[in-house]
Amino acid sequence: MIKQLLYIGMFFVSIFCANAQIDKIVGRWKTVDEKTGEVRAIVYIYKATDGLYYGKIEKMLKYPDAVCTKCEGKDKDKPLVGMIIIRAMKVEDDKLTSGYLLDPESGKKYYGSISYDAQTGKLKLRGSVDKFGVLGRTQYWLRYEDK
């Protein structure tokens, strides 16, 4: 009986820890140009009513009127502000996966994984052309604090 209670307790602790990490992912983030270190945009990551996670560009800092000229389909030539660039991510362990990330600069979609790095306080986004995350690249975003 004690062993069963211990397993149940460990189960609830693991669920709580995973949700705590996901709660740290939700919010506003500054995207950073990997080459220049310049902050480019503010992206809001949120949980939608369908239970999945999405992210949309709230503000472009350098080019506020930019459009996605290289995007395809319904995003073609649409303004970047308001564009959803993180789509249909679901919680797996302590990260978001199984959705995709849109790179508005290239117009390409990538399989995505998003996690929170507790040591640095940064958001880690991994976009890849394969579902396993082997062929791709990683970006780090910074928490955006309203002033």
CB 96 within 8 A of CB 22: yes
Mean pLDDT of 6-16: 43
Which residues make Cβ contacts (< 8 Å) with residue 146, sequence separation at least 6? Answer: 28
Cα 134 from Cα 145, distance rounded (Å): 32
Please check the confidence at residue 17 and state whether its pLDDT lies above 60: no
DSSP secondary structure code for residue 12 in this structure: H
* Residue position matching structure tokens 């791709």: 136
Q: Is the pTM of this model over 0.95?
A: no
Phi, psi torsion values for 18, nearest 5 degrees: -65, -45
Averaged pLDDT for residues 43-57: 97
Q: Which domain holds residue 13?
A: 2-143
Q: Read off the pLDDT of residues 18-37 as tens digits, 9 standing for 90 and up.
A: 455 788 999 999 999 888 98
From 43-47, 57-61, 142-146, the region with the lowest mean pLDDT: 142-146
Task: Name the domain count of the chain.
Answer: 1
What are the tokens at 117? 């790095």
How many alpha carbons lie under 13 Å from residue 37 in its C-beta half-sphere?
0
The CATH number of whichever domain residue 10 belongs to comes to 2.40.128.520
